[in-house]
Amino acid sequence: MTTSVARIFETMEWGPAPEASGPALDWLKSHGGELGHFIGGRWVPPAAGETLEVINPATRAVLGRVAQGSKADVDAAVAAAGQAFPAWAALSGHARARYLYALAREVQKNSRLLAVLESLDNGKPIRETRDLDIPLVARHFYHHAGWAQLAATEFAGYGPIGVVGQIIPWNFPLLMLAWKVAPALAAGNTVVLKPAEFTPLSALCFAELAQRVGLPPGVFNVVTGDGRAGALLVEHPDVRKIAFTGSTEVGRIIRKKTAGSGKKLTLELGGKSPFIVFEDADLDSVVEGVVDAIWFNQGQVCCAGSRLLVQEGVAGRLVAKLRARMEKLRVGSPLDKAVDMGAIVAPVQLDRIRALVDQGRAEGAEMWQPSWACPTEGYFYPPTLFTDVSPAATIAQVEIFGPVLVSMTFRTPAEAVALANNTPYGLAASVWTENINLALDVAPKIKAGVVWINSTNLFDAAAGFGGYRESGFGREGGREGMWEYLKPEWEGGRGKGEGSESVPLAVAAKETTLPSSPSPLPPIDRTPKLFIGGKQVRPDQGYSRPVRGRDGRVLGEVGEGNRKDVRDAVEAAHAAEGWGRGAGHLRAQILYYIAENLSARSDEFAARIAAQTGATAEQGRAEVDAAIARLFSYAAWADKYDGAVHHVPIRGVTLAMHEPIGVIGIAAPDTHPLLGFVSLVAPAVAVGNTVVALPSTPYPLSATDFYAVLETSDLPDGVVNIVTGDKDALVRVLAEHLDVDAVWYCGGVDGARMVEEASAGNMKRTWVPGGRDWLDPRRAEGREFLRHATQVKNIWIPYGE
């Protein structure tokens, strides 16, 4: 001891600061080193007898074995959750709040055990699990104990969905559990959780805590195993919702697998998040921001700031500072309290990182790594910086999911935004500038669910987290996250599409004459066209389709739209995106004006409805009146669907902004040719989306008549586009279109399945809003529609001078 103190006095080097792993290993030993599933409140061995090794990636030591879930296991877990659901859902919010509160307390009481276990299993530094993961887990349960308490009043009219299947990743095992389990239980759902195969331990330890607090058996179940167990859960018919966090690749598969099942879905997927540095930023603080962005959790973070975009004039200085900082980072045993980075979770991930880095070098980017070497006994990778990276480079486009940063330069704020958005992803962004005007100008322009101003990787239970674009949909955290685990109480058990939507087709009459006219003169042909970009245009193919009334007589003809017409309509809708940046007041004025102009022609519209559908004149009139009222409702909403300021534990504000989704494809219901169309188009445009609308296939004339109303109402060109034809054929083009951001579909079950399946191409949002009484404003208008028409962007703005 004595000589070493004198020696260290001279060198002033770092020494080891190990955290004890004993208690965590003892916990594993208490289960005989082998853990079963947790089903119905009991430990259950795998039905098929298959088990998996759990490895410590920092040492390659085997920590223990867990069960591989088989069909029988998943069935048993879903059955247990289904059995527990009615009683759990029927509990008062206060009672559920007590359970969640107890879970939060239990997590705190066992915080070090969980932190060590997580570090052993995942390879992440104990410093992170101790200071970030586990405290945030407790925070999530506290916060959602609050939502359970308030659910009956704050979410009146909504209730739980049922059995929820949750599949979580290996990068933040227990934190992702908390993000999913806490809101699900608070809302009254029961859960079957499938942890990642690499990191099942903390979920199982949490199950034991749940047992200890007396959570009713079956409310929370864990089935461990690899992707096979996850797939079984996704496909299980009694699971009413799937919540998944993981890769976009697997997210796409899940989207396709659940298509047409009526299962609700939230996906938190990958990212390639920009970290934007303007020339007036505090560069030394930027450097620490980068450390927290990409060298946090070894870069295995879905929202990692992995693309560094630097204003050209300061790029040289920043890179020099970054390299100096990287030289001081420490990689080592995750249980050492003084390391910055631990181990990569598994060899497969390490191989992927290495391959991508090799590719980056092969493609000509300059790679830089610190001079020191990583430990060799586990799966370690050093912090890595690429400069001279072009947007075309593979490493600039794909998610590396490792401690690898790629940097590029930009000249202007506009170019920074363009580069930031030059990705299929849209999870998060970080913006560094001391100019508040610049920061608040750029933040709304970035396509991302979270924007951190002069900060990065801040998380809190009170603020929603989730993606735009192919980073998935749905939010976790905050009020916005609770909606993902609720459904309107009036909605039936399954709700797969519209069900009884189909309209009996009129029998084709023999004569195909034009409508008769009381005038002695022959009637003037009146063939509606498509409405694209504010213009009436003929269909690309030059075909028309007849529209027959209930009596079989031809009422008129409409254009037979095709994929090129849909393409043109989507282009026109994009060209009109300025609509969403304008004031809500302006949109309100135009919606009122549309209502006014519709009202002036209400007799004509009523007659047309009656002629098409066989409704009585009175019913036709009622539908027109309802459509006018609906337009008024959304005119009213246009400047009232406010966002929120979340209470997060920083000195600053977190703005939850409601942003339009973008271009929404709408396949209107076949029934209620006017009201159905208006009920979907109006909320979409009220909050700033632009729309490509496909009217009712049998009764398209109310929609085509409607464009004349739009034309006289000052609606900017391209905000609403209407393409007539075979709705299901056209909606496929919309659902497959990679530049359409959402599709709302009313129609049959097969159509709904097709739309949901095709949406996986760019992970566009889908909604099947059918199966409701369009005349009932309690079900057919309001916040539910506005929620689907918007996505929440959380902008974190720390302040203080």
In the complex, what is the shortest distance from the CB of residue 57 to other proteins, in angstroms, rounded to a whole number? 11
377 near other proteins (CB under 8 A): yes
- Rounded Cα–Cα distance for residues 19 and 115 (Å): 10
Q: Which residues of 493-521 are buried (b: 16+ CB within 10 A; e: fewer)?
A: eebbbbeebebeebeeeeeeebeeeeeee
- Rounded Cα–Cα distance for residues 193 and 77 (Å): 9
- Rounded Cα–Cα distance for residues 408 and 458 (Å): 24
26 near other proteins (CB under 8 A): no
**Closer of 366 and 750 to other proteins (Cβ):** 366
Whose tokens are 């934007």? That residue is 276
The DSSP call for residue 388 is S
In the complex, what is the shortest distance from the CB of residue 9 to other proteins, in angstroms, rounded to a whole number? 4
DSSP E strands, 278-346: 305-311
Which region, judged by CB under 8 A, interacts with other proteins, from 32-40, 76-84, 646-654, 719-727?
646-654
373 near other proteins (CB under 8 A): yes
In the complex, what is the shortest distance from the CB of residue 33 to other proteins, in angstroms, rounded to a whole number? 16
In the complex, what is the shortest distance from the CB of residue 799 to other proteins, in angstroms, rounded to a whole number? 7
In the complex, what is the shortest distance from the CB of residue 375 to other proteins, in angstroms, rounded to a whole number? 4
Residue 33, C-beta contacts closer than 8 angstroms, at least 6 positions apart: 64, 65
- Rounded Cα–Cα distance for residues 257 and 259 (Å): 6
**Closer of 585 and 651 to other proteins (Cβ):** 651
13 near other proteins (CB under 8 A): yes
For residue 523, count other CB atoms closer than 10 A to its CB.
12
Pick from 5, 392, 521, 524: which binds other proteins (CB under 8 A)? 5
Closest CA to 470 of 724, 696, 249, 772: 249
Whose tokens are 């075979």? That residue is 726
Residues in contact with other proteins, shown as a per-residue x/- string from 781 to 800 under the rule CB under 8 A: -----------------xxx
256 near other proteins (CB under 8 A): no
Q: What are phi and psi of 616, to 5 degrees?
A: -75, 165
Q: What are phi and psi of 336, to 5 degrees?
A: -80, 130
**Closer of 274 and 289 to other proteins (Cβ):** 289
Whose tokens are 């195969």? That residue is 197
Q: Please work out, in degrees rounded to the nearest 5, the angle formed at the alpha carbon of residue 238 by the alpha carbons of 233 and 244.
A: 40
**Closer of 6 and 524 to other proteins (Cβ):** 6
Pick from 335, 462, 573, 760: which binds other proteins (CB under 8 A)? 335
Residues 130-149 that bind other proteins (CB under 8 A): 131
372 near other proteins (CB under 8 A): yes
Q: Where are the alpha helices (DSSP H) in 40-92?
A: 71-90
Which region, judged by CB under 8 A, interacts with other proteins, from 213-221, 279-287, 532-540, 708-716?
279-287
Residue 491 bears catalytic tag: no
Residues binding other proteins: number (CB under 8 A)? 71
In the complex, what is the shortest distance from the CB of residue 463 to other proteins, in angstroms, rounded to a whole number? 16
9 near other proteins (CB under 8 A): yes
Closest CA to 487 of 72, 182, 89: 89
Residues 405-444 that bind other proteins (CB under 8 A): 434
In the complex, what is the shortest distance from the CB of residue 800 to other proteins, in angstroms, rounded to a whole number? 4
Residue 607, C-beta contacts closer than 8 angstroms, at least 6 positions apart: 617, 620
Residues 721-780 that bind other proteins (CB under 8 A): none
In the complex, what is the shortest distance from the CB of residue 22 to other proteins, in angstroms, rounded to a whole number? 7
**Closer of 185 and 319 to other proteins (Cβ):** 319
**Closer of 439 and 743 to other proteins (Cβ):** 439
Residues 281-300 that bind other proteins (CB under 8 A): 281-282, 284-286, 288-289, 292
DSSP E strands, 560-643: none
20 near other proteins (CB under 8 A): yes
Q: Which residues of 460-488 are buried (b: 16+ CB within 10 A; e: fewer)?
A: bbbbbbbbbbbbbbbbbbbbbbbbbbbbe
Residues 314-333 that bind other proteins (CB under 8 A): 316-317, 320-325, 327-328, 330-333
Strands 530-532 and 535-537: antiparallel
Whose tokens are 């409409």? That residue is 558
336 near other proteins (CB under 8 A): yes
CB 535 within 8 A of CB 625: no
- The letter for the amino acid at 514 is L
Residue 118 bears catalytic tag: no
**Closer of 24 and 265 to other proteins (Cβ):** 24
**Closer of 332 and 665 to other proteins (Cβ):** 332
645 near other proteins (CB under 8 A): no
**Closer of 59 and 202 to other proteins (Cβ):** 59
Pick from 48, 115, 338, 710: which binds other proteins (CB under 8 A)? 338
CB 413 within 8 A of CB 278: yes
Catalytic residue among 268, 470, 756, 781: 268
Token couple for 86 = 């009615």
CB 360 within 8 A of CB 84: no
87 near other proteins (CB under 8 A): no
Pick from 375, 614, 716, 777: which binds other proteins (CB under 8 A)? 375
In the complex, what is the shortest distance from the CB of residue 107 to other proteins, in angstroms, rounded to a whole number? 20
**Closer of 225 and 334 to other proteins (Cβ):** 334
Residues 38-77 that bind other proteins (CB under 8 A): 58-59
Q: What are phi and psi of 587, to 5 degrees?
A: -65, -40
| Cα–chain center distance at 101 | 27
337 near other proteins (CB under 8 A): yes
Residues 437-466 that bind other proteins (CB under 8 A): 454-455
- Rounded Cα–Cα distance for residues 800 and 163 (Å): 45
**Closer of 95 and 320 to other proteins (Cβ):** 320
In the complex, what is the shortest distance from the CB of residue 113 to other proteins, in angstroms, rounded to a whole number? 15
Catalytic residue among 302, 557, 560, 756: 302
Pick from 112, 216, 368, 397: which binds other proteins (CB under 8 A)? 368
**Closer of 58 and 710 to other proteins (Cβ):** 58
22 near other proteins (CB under 8 A): yes
Burial of 284 (0-12, 13-18, 19+ CB in 10 A): exposed
Pick from 14, 87, 313, 502: which binds other proteins (CB under 8 A)? 14
388 near other proteins (CB under 8 A): no
DSSP notation for 530-582: EEETTEEE--TT--EEEEE-TTS-EEEEEE---HHHHHHHHHHHHHTTHHHHS
Which region, judged by CB under 8 A, interacts with other proteins, from 73-81, 137-145, 337-345, 485-493?
337-345
Residue 134, C-beta contacts closer than 8 angstroms, at least 6 positions apart: 107, 111, 114, 115, 118, 174
In the complex, what is the shortest distance from the CB of residue 233 to other proteins, in angstroms, rounded to a whole number? 35
652 near other proteins (CB under 8 A): yes
* Three-class SS state of 310: strand
**Closer of 1 and 156 to other proteins (Cβ):** 1
Residue 547, C-beta contacts closer than 8 angstroms, at least 6 positions apart: 554, 555, 556, 557, 558, 612, 698, 699, 700, 701
Catalytic center residues: 268, 302
